[in-house]
Structure 1
Amino acid sequence: MNNESEFETQRTNISKQNGGDKRSVETTYSIQLVPDFFREEYSHRQVVDLEDHYHGYVVWLREQGKNPDEDEGIASSNVPIVFSRTVQFHRRVWEQLGKYTTRFTHEHADEYEQDLKDDNVTKESGEPYVESSKRKLQEAVVKYFLWVSWTKGGEPWKPSLTFSQSDFQQSDYFTLEEREALYEAALTYDDLGRYSDLSPEARERQKGYLAQKLGKPKSDVTPDDFEQCRRSWEIPSLISASLDLGPRPKLIERCLLKWYKPAKGEFQIPKEGAVKNDQYWNNPVSSRTLRLLDRWEKQRSSLHKYDESEHLWLNREGNPYSSKTLNYLLDNLLEEAGIGQANRRLTWTSIRRSTGTYLAYVEGLHHAKCQLRHMSMQATLVYVEIPVEAYRDALDQLTVLSETNSADGHPLSGDSSVPMEVLQNQ
């Protein structure tokens, strides 16, 4: 990566005295302002010009990009993501024009969102983007023209097309019964049985599985490995904590052992660990999760794959979990739990939606908002559904009311017969 085109952005403290010189930025990760494809296709002076153009945009994203009126920037971890999506839009314009420019217009944006709709803009693999990805690419274009409006004048760009909300709206939530079934499946997950109880054929088969899981030759797998697998609290603690926290996959990927505070019965998530915001969060967990984490913490200290890692959980390859590996784990647990997926979309986000839905139902939206680490109630509302139990309770109450009124000889007549508190509690 060329140092001249490298902009580092975590904890971006641009000095006001020196006019925001990029050399004064404190860093923990960097953004390559000028992509490699551009450096290969365009001249040195165009590279420098684009670097200057993008530098102002990235600083604005970090300092004002979320709410310019309040000088509120977007989360540091999201700056590279929004920037990358913006570059994708610009690259499309350059390709269509056949030349370089930084004078992007609303007409360019209109054509780009139409190309998104028509699947003329695709992934590198040639596959079309799903609706939620199209919306995110569109939002990056909105963000770019908002910067242009704030810094250079002109009107912000307003999209004319609507793409669906992000993937969490397309994921169904787990019911209370399914939440418990998921936890129970975690208790038996990877329990291959006692080595002495297995037939020679079963031993060989399971040795092959364990060899792959543990990253060692099949000949090195021992009865102790079988027993260690049977007694591991790694997956049960992960699932139980996730049912409490409703974490995005990125939070599990970042989660460190030191975030867990057993004496307080909570996770303390620092600003740099938070997802989609830069806030500090204290999230309590259930008594069950505390017991499991206590057991897992003791086991974790004796496992070789954690010797040089601060992460609370690692996948079987010894890497932090990702959305892909978490969903792979979830699919296996769903199969073991016998939770059907017909006509439903169950993903890791289903855990988050389930936690939000039931916390809102039992304790109210404020509890759900805090536990899901949302900055606004509106964000929480997107995750919350009226659970089937709430409908059932309401219908049971209606049945009681109907039966009571009929017995008293006063049949229900209009809304006035239904107590207001019954409606307000639904």
Structure 2
Amino acid sequence: MEPDRSFSSSSGDAGPREYLTIEEPKKIREAALEYGSIPAYNNLTPEERDNWKAHLAQRFDKPKSEVVPADWDRANGWKFTTIAWTSLDAGLRPVEVERAKVSWVDVDNAVLRIPKEDSAKNEGNWVVSLTDRTAEGLERWLDEREQYDRYNGRDELWLTREGNPYQSTSLRRLIHKLCDIADISTENRKMSWYALRHSVGTAMSHERDLAAAKAQLRHKSEQTTMKYDNVPVEQRREALERME
């Protein structure tokens, strides 16, 4: 039986330590749709509905008696889906999820427009491609986002229920929850939000070339992008020479 191909480099410590196999990003996308979802209010028996009210009361930190049908829609929202899908498309670093703003999102053209002052290394303005599916999800999230008081007067694209931007710790918890839903083992693997970024880099370099991966991941240096390409060294060197 052949081992799973993965997005880790074959060159030892030179490649990313956090990775997803080639099949796992799709599983993460589907898990993000499922994460946090609950059965439809009208499809539940009174006993089931009472149990779900207790769950939602804890989730939203409110008395059980104050849980209303609208909370079902709130629980089945687009926030977690778009955090994962956007990160899988754009290879967002944790700090970029933290800094992400509504003003970055251009759903009509299916891109993120990241200004220099918000970029992780403050090196330039970036236009990053998104899939149509992610752009549609973001459009839904922007509509939903307007319904939550915590976003009033704020431009952050995503906030926790406490009103804080997502950071490495909260994103690590999220990726582990998504892996659990997707039945992806994290045992003996270093798994953080960077695994999504690394999968983008390797997939882009395989499907297109290093130049495409370099642009999508917002690298200034071709050498940085090379760690996402596990084809023979000679072919990688030729790719670099083509980009000079």
With structure 2 as the length reference, what TM-score do the two structures score? 0.83
1:284 offset after TM fit, Å? 1.4
What is the aligned-residue RMSD (CA, Å)?
2.6
Q: How many Å separate the matches in 2 of 1:261 and 1:365?
A: 25
Q: Who is 2:60 aligned against?
A: 214
Matches for 1:356-367 after TM superposition, within 5 Å:
356-367=201-212
* AA in 2 matched with 1:356: G
Q: Give the secondary-structure state (helix, strand or coil) at the position aligned to 1:279.
A: coil
Q: Who is 1:319 aligned against?
A: 164
* AA in 2 matched with 1:289: T
Alignment of 1:257 with 2:73, yes or no, is no
* AA in 2 matched with 1:323: S
* AA in 2 matched with 1:210: L
Tell me, yes or no, if the aligned pair for 1:213 and 1:317 is still in contact at 8 Å. no
Q: Who is 1:169 aligned against?
A: 16
Matches for 1:357-396 after TM superposition, within 5 Å:
357-382=202-227, 384-386=228-230
Q: How many Å separate the matches in 2 of 1:212 and 1:366?
A: 47
Tell me, yes or no, if the aligned pair for 2:107 and 2:136 is still in contact at 8 Å. no
Q: Who is 1:244 aligned against?
A: 89
Q: Give the secondary-structure state (helix, strand or coil) at the position aligned to 2:23.
A: helix
Tell me, yes or no, if the aligned pair for 1:215 and 1:317 is still in contact at 8 Å. no
* AA in 1 matched with 2:23: E
Instruction: Indicate which of 67, 79, 93 corresponds to 1:234.
Output: 79
* AA in 1 matched with 2:24: E
Alignment of 1:183 with 2:29, yes or no, is yes
Q: Who is 1:157 aligned against?
A: none
Instruction: Indicate which of 271, 280, 284 corresponds to 2:116.
Output: 271
Same amino acid, percent of matched pairs: 36
Note the residue ranges of structure 2 that are not aligned, 5 or more in a row: 1-11, 240-244
Alignment of 1:332 with 2:177, yes or no, is yes
Q: Who is 1:354 aligned against?
A: 199
Note the residue ranges of structure 1 that are not aligned, 5 or more in a row: 1-163, 392-420
Q: Give the secondary-structure state (helix, strand or coil) at the position aligned to 1:282.
A: strand
Q: Who is 1:192 aligned against?
A: 38
1:204 offset after TM fit, Å? 4.0
Shift in CA distance, 177/270, structure 1 to aligned 2, threshold 3 Å: same
User: Number of paired residues?
Assistant: 225
1:201 offset after TM fit, Å? 5.0
Q: How many Å separate the matches in 2 of 1:165 and 1:290?
A: 35
CA deviation profile, 1:171-194 (whole Å, cap 9, x unmatched): 1x2233211111111111111212
Q: How many Å separate the matches in 1 of 2:13 and 2:55?
A: 39
* AA in 1 matched with 2:40: R
With structure 1 as the length reference, what TM-score do the two structures score? 0.49
Q: How many Å separate the matches in 2 of 1:354 and 1:334?
A: 14
Q: How many Å separate the matches in 2 of 1:292 and 1:353?
A: 22
